[in-house]
A and B are shown apart, each in its own frame.
Chain A
Amino acid sequence: MKDYQLAWKNLWRNRRRTMITAASVFFAVFFALVMRSFQLGTYDHMFKNVIESYTGYLQIQDSAFADEPVIDNCFVLSDQQVSALEADKNIDKVIPRIESFALAASGNRTQGVIVMGIDPVLENEVSGIKDRLVKYRFTPEIVKEMSEDSVPDKIKKLLPLFENESYSSVGRLMADLDLKESDTAVILPLIRKKASFPNGYFGETSPGVLIGDKLSVYLHLNVGDTLVMVGQGYHASSAAAKYVVDGIVKLPTPDIDNKIVYLTVNSARLFYDTPGMVTSAVLDIKDNSEEAIAETKTRISSTLSSPLKVLVWQEMNEILVNQMEADSKSGLIMIGILYLVIAFGVFGTVLMMMSERKREFGMLISIGMQKRRLAKVVSIELILMGLLGLITGVIATIPFAFYFNTHPIRFTGQMARMYEDYGFEPVMPFMLPDTYYLWQTLVVLIMLVIAVFFCIRKIYRINVINALRA
């Protein structure tokens, strides 16, 4: 009889207790991982959204603009500077932007907006603006019309959830409506016919604008309508102009989607009276890993002269990053409490098991089993029990993580509105298994080690005579 065989038999002497203990470890691990997975996944998703649709990973700004983003803090970006930057090994393109504020109006509605002067061609490299043009929109009329049509019941049921929703890609549309590849032949053409949104894009010399989807809904603007903007130009000159809406884009971050107006850089320079200038230059990078970004920042910083400086996405989105960090901390505290509760439960069981078997331990030591060996057997029992819970817990979360990574939980109704009020997209994708799995596994292993250590100590302290009398 080997020690592990004895341990295995002991493990099943009280089947129910073993199962309950392993199950409590399982649930702790499962819930902690699931919680963390969608927390981290949500952060990741939000960061990606804001980076890819708005700030990019790296920007050059005047340091004054970084502190106070007003048009007066813009700078001249020369062609030589651009080509010098583009010579860097990690920089693909340098993309000019003029970013400021204005008041936009249409009819009797007004809205403070972010004005972005962009290069209509180059900008696509960073924020893929062209791909964000709205292609389908489910207006209430269209939803009503389609519900009366011969679409499958499944879709009829889902459609009302997405009333007023706009789509810039078929992929997202298919995910929302739960469409399979096999459905596409019938349903997509129908959607194309009913819900296609006539949209456009501006040419380099166009005087028009692109506006966010939510902004267009708020201001009741459609493609071809006119938007009036009033603002403050360079050195307190006044800025005012009328623009035709060339297109409507859907941005993933609701807080930007409801207040963004894109102009061409040239229009923006005219509007703000800043010829040849930019407020920021987005660096379109090749490798966006954290190390590569940091290295690129250091390299570029050394070539820039004051007052210009390089900002990474965290610096440009400080509020969002801080918000996520605070949220992450509260999540970790929740997980900590969960583990603590489970740990007490498991320790209670271990304690009970030890005192129940005191007499048996006394007998075993009496007949010649070394304490070291007894401790080994009991340790194997605990480790098996703990690992059973830990491993099954980890394995059970993996399918969830993968499924909800590609099929994020999408809030609707009240919950969705709440999220959007905070400026977040109302989706919760899971983060794929990553280092956070290792951390949580480590936490459970540490708890296991403590339990094992506790039992070993107890065994070494057994007094045979007392134990036999127990």
Chain B
Amino acid sequence: MNVLEINEVYKTYHDTEVAVTAVNGVTLSFERGEFAAVVGPSGSGKTTLLNLIGGLDQPTDGEIIVAGHRLSELRPSELIDFRMEHVGFVFQSYNLIPVLTASENIGFIMNLQHWPADKRKKRTDELLHSVGLADRGNSRPSQLSGGQQQRVAVARALATRPEFILADEPTANLDSKSTDTLLDIMEKLNRDEEMTFIFSTHDSRVVRRARRIITLEDGRVVSDERR
């Protein structure tokens, strides 16, 4: 079953001197449990594509369908609720709320979804354990390393079991050791929770671990390989 379908999607920016078509007719579909990397040179449209998929931005043309929702049909506030329910996000940096602890950050979306406290706590503890931070639940983001912060972000993104997790260059700010740890954790969660991951990257070592590699060039998909 497809969790995500992208049909003939275009995104053109007109606010620049010359109109830029950042995404130029992309058609893709993703199944449950994929572990996919979006790669390509800088400016090829990776971030733009991920933003469109996550409902952060609207395509100029084409259709994106997530779990039966046509994103173009949703109003702005419905799009926010849609993201809260169906999409997990991991950004390159500054993912966490600085005044909350790691546990509270992981619980944040469960909180938005009104999970009861006991269920929330159980899930938070389970995830803290999964990302190897069982003893750091009470730490503030400023007390965690960059790699640990990214792990908390991953835990938060999948806490409520969204359709998929979008991660735009999640390892860009990490050293190679932290990158490996984060990928280990993502792979494990992908396996254990059957969580779909779609991430963009520049890093060839990250690419190597993906099971599907989508290559963009000038906003077009030039190759789409599964391994």
Chain A interface residues toward B at CB < 8 A: 1, 6, 9-10, 12-13, 359-360, 363-372, 464-465, 468
Contact = CB atoms under 8 A, between A and B. Distances in A.
Nearest to B82: A368
B51 interface: yes
24 contacts: A1-B100, A1-B104, A1-B107, A1-B108, A6-B100, A9-B99, A360-B98, A363-B94, A366-B54, A366-B83, A366-B89, A366-B91, A367-B88, A367-B89, A367-B108, A368-B84, A368-B87, A369-B80, A369-B112, A370-B81, A372-B77, A464-B56, A465-B51, A465-B57
B72 to A, nearest CB: 17
Given A363-B94, A367-B83, 17 more contacts: A1-B104, A9-B100, A13-B99, A360-B98, A363-B91, A364-B97, A366-B89, A366-B91, A367-B89, A367-B109, A368-B80, A368-B84, A369-B84, A369-B112, A370-B80, A371-B80, A468-B91
Interface in B71-129: 77, 80-81, 83-85, 87-89, 91, 94-95, 97-100, 104, 107-109, 111-112
A10 B99 contact: yes
Which 10 residue pairs are nearest across A and B when measured between Cβ atoms?
A368-B84, A9-B99, A368-B83, A13-B99, A464-B56, A1-B111, A370-B80, A367-B89, A366-B89, A359-B94
B169 to A, nearest CB: 12
A456 to B, nearest CB: 15
Contacts, number: 61
Interface size class of B (residues with CB under 8 A): 20 to 34
Nearest to A470: B94
A360 B108 CA distance: 14
B38 to A, nearest CB: 17
Most buried by A among B83, B85, B99, B104: B99
A9 B101 CA distance: 11
Nearest to B54: A366
A6 B54 CA distance: 26
Contacts of A465: 51, 56-57
A371 B91 CA distance: 20
Contacts of A363: 89, 91, 94-95
**Interface-central residue, B80, B94, B99, B107, by most chain A CB under 10 Å:** B80
Contacts of A366: 54, 56, 83, 89, 91
Contacts of B97: 6, 360, 364
B118 to A, nearest CB: 15
